Chain A
Amino acid sequence: MSSTPLDKIRNIGITAHIDAGKTTTTERILYYTGVSHRIGEVHDGNTTTDYMDQERERGITITSAAVTCEWKDYRINIIDTPGHIDFNIEVNRSLRVLDGAIFIIEGVAGVQPQSETNWRLADRYNVPRVIFINKLDRTGADFYRAFDTLKEKLDIVALPLQLPIGIEDKFIGVVDLVEMKAIVWEGGELGAKFHDEPIPADMLEKAKEHRQTLLDTALAVDDAGMEEYFEKGDVSVETLKRAIKTGTITGAFRPVLCGTAFKNKGVQPLLDAVLDYLPSPIDVPGIKVAVEEGEEEGDHQRRIKADPSAPFAGLAFKIINDKYGTLTFVRVYAGTLKSGDTVMNTTKGEKERIGRMFQMHADKRAEIKEVIAGDIAAFVGLKDTGTGDTLAAAEDPVVLERMAFPVPVIDISVEPKTKDSVEKMTLALQKLAGEDPSLRLKTDQETGQTILSGMGELHLEIIIDRLKREYGVEANIGAPQVAYRETIARSHTETYTHKKQSGGSGQYAEVKIIFEPLERNQGVVFENKVVGGSVPKEYIPAVEKGIRVQADTGVLAGFQTVDFKYTLVDGKYHDVDSSALAFEIAAKACFREGMKKANPIILEPIMDVEITTPQDHVGDVVGDLNRRRGMIQNQESAGSTVTVRALVPLKEMFGYISHLRSMTKGRASFTMQFHHYEPVPRNIADEIMAKSA
């Protein structure tokens, strides 16, 4: 893409809880790096990365936007991600393809639920991180309290590289513990001007103490640095930075910086930290190649290293459709690719010709002729490539590890307002579902309605809004429904014979299947234990398919059946009358009969809810949560506010925000995210079954 050497490229994400200041920080970064000549503000609806109408109107990030900037001869590709849990898929896929991340937490509340979720996602993909404690200008901000929540809630070795000078409206700068100096912002020119000065006398002792902790922790990962310390009694800035980078990349500790992006303080040192401590594409071990079926995952897996001269390998991580067609975002891991080249989609086994290629800057784009290892770019012209697919050179057709996507928990029915829009709506929804793997589309087999499943009310609201604005389809929406699941609580063996042999060619198949419950989130597992050919090999896939299809409609209330294993142990066939169809029909009927006897139960999604409320409303909030079948997990006080955390069934949370507002006169706020599925109480199961009857 450009001539920037690989060691001077940083592919990073900015991730955090909602409203922690990701987009605000990104705006400052773009301003200080000269990409933009004014600072956009979230509350004014004019930021660079929140370019969708819905983002600007609501002041939230919905889709992750890619922007590129230059800082001190380095190229930084940044992805700004959403904070709201409903759009967690964006965080998931961004972290999957990034080499590092800035993790922002709020200086008042510290680590919040969504911070924990995103942190664990970053852990899953081993993404090195620097932490930025933001909003230190806010009333109630406390760097040290926020810092403590890092250790308490994330269970990490957090290592401060800076200490704040002043707090709230007196916050003026930071003590840099690496170079032992103060950095003070001068107030004018939108934070572009700052200067170094000696550490304030009243902070010197504290700074020395924290620097010793910094040396202790950082040098523990760098023997040469230890030797330098023993020899000189200190280490050079270069040595210390090298040790911090090693510890950051290996995850031995997590460096912590601080500031207030909104008040334009602390962002430039944060950019320096990105260069100094986050890895370039060649500093990371390389992406793993997916294992063959049946093979265990582990350290033996081949890794693709960032090498421009190696065969091409890239991962499609995001797809958007706009007026110019379909844009496929690709992280290039190895090789070089030019527009017009042909590659393999090794996930699907199809050839793909690369049309035009673009470097993206939020919703703007610059055409490029070539991409190389380490780049993130958008391709036009790919026909069959979906999110998570690998593109690779034919001479080394590797398949990279796929991405994991969250399970949707809310359904709504949707139908066009006019009959002639049916086809238009279906096409539009298919396109939207193609962009967003956390959105599922299905047709209710009984009512014929189109059912849209998503991550939350806001997620589906935005989709319906996009349907109207981008595709011109007005739709009637049903009330949101909980995405219940069904499963079984005990094992049962069922034998079923499908027989239709009255004249002409008949149908005959018998199957004996053991149905067993599995732990949550294990999905549906099939095992074939037939011996002696009692069910011929060619009919086994039909049995497997029959059960999988039938499992979409559970025996209690028609919900998808999950977390069970079915083992085909025996059966019978007829030389003339047996067929794949007959075995599929037998398997479906065996499921319907067998599951009824295996103690079927309905599962409901349980949400992790966190409510921040003024102290005088805690009683009302807790009482209300109890009425909603909530299980209080803990309560924590911070100043005059209390944070209540509870596990509450999703069914009880519809419309909660307006109730909470009226209960607390608009002073409380809440967040929630999916936690787990759990069996519903008997009386509610009866209600659900009665409704579906």
Chain B
Amino acid sequence: MRLRWARGRGTIETMTGPRASEWLGLDDAGNPIARVIHLDGPMHTERGVFRAVALDAEQKLIRLLPLPPNDGDWLAVIGGRVVGRAAAPLAAVRRVEAAL
């Protein structure tokens, strides 16, 4: 299923300036039903070092991922469910669309 995609809220600082760290997948009514999100981190906690990502818009649902393995910086999320991980946002978009 194809979605319309738009830039989300976050940004990543890069050598060439800020870049979107979230892309929202919108249904026909314009409601966000999926997202691809760049993993933050590494984040140091008492339990170890993780990469982190908020799975929902309110940032209530946080997922921690161990370091390594590093199998891609972008997480494909539908609702609060992670459906895949990819090295590039476009590839993560395809994972979302394939899972819908």
Q: Do A and B come from one complex?
A: yes
Contacts of A246 in B (CB 8 A): 16
Residues A214-232 near B (CB distance < 8 A): 215-217, 219-221, 223, 226-227, 229-230
B99 at the A/B interface (Cβ < 8 Å)?
A: no
- Complex partner residue of A221 from B5, B19, B87, B91, CB under 8 angstroms: B19
Q: Is B15 an interface residue (CB 8 A)?
A: yes
Answer whether A219 and B16 are a contact pair too, CB < 8 Å, given A227-B7, A230-B4: no
Taken together as a complex, chains A and B put the C-alpha atoms of A216 and B16 apart, in Å, by 18
**A157 CA to B91 CA in the complex, in Å?**
15
Bound CA–CA A601/B47 (angstroms): 44
Determine if A226 and B14 form an interchain contact, defined as CB atoms under 8 angstroms apart. no
One of A157, A223, A227 near B19 (C-beta < 8 A): A223
Contact with A along B80-91 (1 / 0, CB 8 A): 000000111111
A36 at the interface (CB under 8 A from B): no
Query: B-facing mask of A175-217, CB < 8 A → 1, else 0?
Result: 0000000000000000000000000000000000000000111
B57-94 interface with A by 8 A CB criterion: 86-91
A423 CA to B88 CA in the complex, in Å?
65
Which residues of chain A are within 8 angstroms of B14 by Cβ–Cβ distance?
221, 250
* CA–CA, A229 and B14, complex, Å: 21
Please classify the interface of chain B as helix (H, G, I), strand (E, B), loop, or mixed, using the class held by over half of its residues: strand
> Which residues on the B side are within 8 Å of A250 (C-beta)?
14-16
In the bound assembly, the distance between CA atoms of A249 and B86 in angstroms comes to: 23
Contact of B20 with A by CB under 8 A: yes
Q: Is there contact, CB below 8 Å, between B16 and A221? A: yes
Residues of B within 8 A of A223 (CB): 7, 19-20
Instruction: Give Cα distance in the complex from A341 to B24, angstroms.
Output: 59
For residue A219, which residues in chain B have a CB less than 8 angstroms away from its CB? 88-90
Question: Are B88's CB and A217's CB within 8 A?
Answer: yes
Report the nearest A residue to B2, measured CB to CB.
A233
Q: Which residues of chain B are near A220, meaning CB under 8 Å?
A: 87-90
Query: Which of B7, B15, B88 counts the most A-chain CB atoms under 10 A from its CB?
Result: B88
A684–B87 CA distance with the chains assembled, in angstroms? 52
A432 CA to B79 CA, complexed, in Å: 70
Measured in the bound complex, the distance between the Cα atoms of B88 and A679 in whole Å is 47
Query: Complex: how many Å from CA A217 to CA B88?
Result: 6
* B71 smallest CB distance to A (angstroms): 14
The interface residues of chain B lying within 8 Å CB-to-CB of A230 are 4-6
User: A285 CA to B89 CA in the complex, in Å?
Assistant: 27
Which residues A236-268 have CB closer than 8 A to chain B?
246, 249-250
Shortest B31–chain A CB gap in Å is 17
Number of interface residues of A (CB under 8 A): 15
Question: Bound complex: CA of A201 vs CA of B80, how far in Å?
Answer: 43
A216 interface neighbour in B7, B15, B20, B91, Cβ under 8 Å: B91
- Write out the residue numbers on chain A whose beta carbons fall within 8 Å of the beta carbon of B19: 221, 223
Could you tell me the distance between the alpha carbons of A77 and B23 in the complex, rounded to whole angstroms?
Answer: 41
With a cutoff of 8 Å between Cβ atoms, the chain B residues found around residue A217 in the complex are: 87-88
Q: Which residues of A have CB within 8 Å of B89?
A: 219-220, 226
Scoring A217, A220, A221 by chain B CB atoms within 10 A of each residue's CB, the highest score goes to A220
Report the minimum CB–CB distance from B1 to chain A (whole Å). 14
Q: Which of A216, A226, A249 contacts B23 (CB 8 A)?
A: A226
Closest Cβ of chain A: how far from B25's Cβ, in Å?
Answer: 10
Q: Is A229 in contact with B90, judged by CB distance below 8 angstroms?
A: yes
Kindly state the separation between the CA atoms of A413 and B16 in the bound complex, as whole angstroms: 53
Minimum Cβ distance to chain A for residue B94 (Å): 8
Q: How far is it, in angstroms, between the C-alpha of A229 and the C-alpha of B2 when the chains are bound?
A: 13
Determine the distance from Cα of A105 to Cα of B45 in the docked complex, in whole angstroms: 43
User: Could you say which residues of chain A place their CB within 8 Å of the CB of B15?
Assistant: 250
By a CB distance below 8 angstroms, the chain B residues around A229 are 90
| Residues of A with C-beta under 8 A to B6 | 230
Q: Could you tell me the distance between the alpha carbons of A63 and B14 in the complex, rounded to whole angstroms?
A: 37
Cα distance A217–B5 in the bound complex, in angstroms: 18
Nearest to A220 among chain B residues (CB) is: B88
Chain B, residues 38-50, CB within 8 Å of chain A (1/0): the string is 0000000000000
A220 to B90, CA, bound (A): 7
Alpha-carbon distance between A157 and B14 when the two chains are bound, in angstroms: 17
* Contact yes or no, A215 B90, CB < 8 A: yes
For the complex, what is the distance from the CA of A219 to the CA of B20, rounded to whole Å?
A: 12
- Distance in Å: Cβ of B26 to nearest Cβ of chain A: 10
Considering only CB atoms, which chain B residue lies closest to A246 in the complex?
B16
Q: Using Cβ atoms and an 8 Å threshold, which residues of chain B touch A216?
A: 86-88, 90-91
A258 to chain B, nearest CB (A): 23
In the assembled complex, the Cα of A249 lies from the Cα of B23 at a distance in Å of: 24
Q: Which residue of A lies closest to B73 (CB)?
A: A220
Cα distance, A216 to B88, chains bound together (Å): 6
CA distance A437 to B31 in the complex (A): 65
Alpha-carbon distance between A226 and B19 when the two chains are bound, in angstroms: 11
B16 neighbours in A (Cβ, 8 Å): 221, 246, 249-250
Min CB–CB distance B40 → chain A (angstroms): 16
Q: In the bound complex, what is the Cα–Cα distance between A615 and B14 (angstroms)? A: 48
What CA separation (Å) do A219 and B90 show in the bound complex? 8
List of A residues within 8 angstroms of B4 by Cβ: 230
The CA of A223 and the CA of B12, in the complex, are separated in Å by 11
Q: How many angstroms between the C-alpha atoms of A367 and B60 in the bound complex?
A: 69
The B1-38 residues at the A interface (CB cut-off 8 A) are 4-7, 14-16, 19-20, 23
Residue of A nearest to B89 (CB): A220
Bound complex: CA of A223 vs CA of B21, how far in Å?
Answer: 10
Name the residue among A157, A221, A249 with the largest chain B CB count within 10 angstroms. Answer: A221
Q: How far is the CA of A693 from the CA of B14 in the complex (A)?
A: 60
A226 and B90 CA atoms in complex are apart in Å by 8
Q: Give A227's nearest chain B residue, CB to CB.
A: B7
CA distance A175 to B16 in the complex (A): 30
B90 — which chain A residues lie within 8 A by C-beta?
215-216, 219-220, 226, 229
B5 / chain A contacts, CB cutoff of 8 Å: 226, 230
A226 contact set on B, CB distance < 8 A: 5, 20, 23, 89-90
Q: Closest A-chain residue to B7, C-beta based?
A: A223
CA distance A226 to B88 in the complex (A): 11
Residues of B within 8 A of A157 (CB): 87
Chain B nearest CB from A541 CB (Å) reads 43
Minimal beta-carbon separation of B6 from chain A (angstroms): 8
| Chain B contacts to A: CB under 8 angstroms | 4-7, 14-16, 19-20, 23, 86-91
A-B contact pairs, 10 of them (CB 8 A): A157-B87, A217-B87, A219-B90, A220-B88, A220-B90, A223-B7, A226-B90, A227-B7, A230-B4, A230-B5
User: Known pairs A223-B7, A229-B90. 13 more at Cβ < 8 A?
Assistant: A215-B90, A216-B88, A217-B87, A217-B88, A219-B88, A219-B90, A220-B89, A220-B90, A223-B19, A223-B20, A246-B16, A250-B14, A250-B15
4 pairs of A and B residues whose beta carbons are closest in the complex: A216-B88, A220-B88, A230-B5, A216-B90
